[in-house]
Copies of this chain bind each other. A is one copy, B any other.
């Protein structure tokens, strides 16, 4: 992975925007990161697969509703680009306050992005504890 490659930079940037949106707890920010289509898939740690933007968006609303703080430090990012597809593996080092309980933990993530007219959009997120 060449970190100076503009395509790699663009994918790393959208990957970070996803975590900024997650940390903002603002569904409007999450709306900007994802593709709004039936093909998007999302697996939160310990959840079953969610398919389609409607289901995926509802899950973010539920997570944001129950969370009062979420801070990410993203490490070990690997970016692979093939045509208009890219996938990122990274470690989410998380500090969170959910249902008034504070915790620190790490999640291993796979994020898939597709490049369209509007740039790179997330189409798949798989997080596992």
Contact = CB atoms under 8 A, between A and B. Distances in A.
Contacts of A126: 89, 108, 110, 126, 128
A35 to B, nearest CB: 10
B87 A112 contact: yes
> Could you tell me the dominant secondary structure of chain A's interface residues?
strand
Interface residues of A, number: 26
Given A43-B128, A110-B112, A126-B126, 19 more contacts: A41-B80, A45-B128, A49-B76, A49-B78, A49-B108, A80-B123, A82-B83, A82-B84, A82-B85, A82-B114, A83-B85, A85-B85, A87-B87, A89-B124, A89-B126, A110-B110, A110-B124, A112-B112, A126-B128
Interface of A: 39, 41, 43, 45, 48-49, 51, 76, 78, 80, 82-85, 87, 89, 91, 108, 110, 112, 114, 123-124, 126, 128-129
